[in-house]
Homo-oligomer: A and B are copies of this chain.
């Protein structure tokens, strides 16, 4: 059965026995969402958590005036909203499918049951949460201590690494989404992309970005260098 294969491919479920996979499958539901559809809203009660099977999901906060801050974008194999399982609290953010997506839903009670019996699952989960915590700490650092050019440079380098250092990096999300991920707005992002381009750091063609000066971007990302106005 392919669901079993999928579960086995998910890092946090690594190391479970066949029986435990079957136990999981028993309590699990598969949900489908169209592009732009809400999976849950901030404040809803969290009765379980999710794993992306196909597509991608963004987790985000909204301000009163409607500005959005993306906390994370998850792709296949990645769990989300796990934290809500362990604190008896409502979801602290919104979740929305960026594309046609399928997600696995795992109910809270069954999962806690399973985790109590299987230490390796607990350790996997602890590792996953710890990693996420580290990411958030990095995000706080960037929002507070770096300006937008630095954050953008860091993100481009991150993408480059993710995609195994290709000639040219591809943005998998729209620029408006990228702006929201970097804690800014599309106008500002656009201007800074233009500046990075005109100063020879990168070359931009739609969603394709060629990194021309890796060292320069690194210096920007670390805050060792400032982008001039020209």
Contacts and interface: CB of A to CB of B under 8 A. Distances in A.
A140 B141 contact: no
Given A83-B133, A132-B133, A133-B132, A119 B123 contact: no
Interface string A107-126: 00000100111011011011
A93 B138 CA distance: 9
A71 B137 contact: yes
Given A223-B65, A224-B64, A83 B119 contact: no
Interface residues on A, range: 35 or more
A138 B92 contact: yes
Interface stretch (A21-29, A142-150, A192-200, A204-212): A142-150
B126 A86 contact: yes
A175 interface: no
A92 B126 contact: no
B123 A112 contact: yes
Given A116-B119, A126-B126, A130-B83, A140 B71 contact: yes
A79 interface: no
A138 B122 CA distance: 25
A171 interface: no
Residue among A65, A67, A126 with the most chain B CB within 10 A? A126
B137 A86 contact: no
Given A61-B145, A63-B223, A129-B133, A140 B138 contact: no
Interface of A: 61-65, 67, 69, 71, 82-87, 89, 92-93, 112, 115-117, 119-120, 122-123, 125-127, 129-134, 136-141, 143-146, 183, 222-224
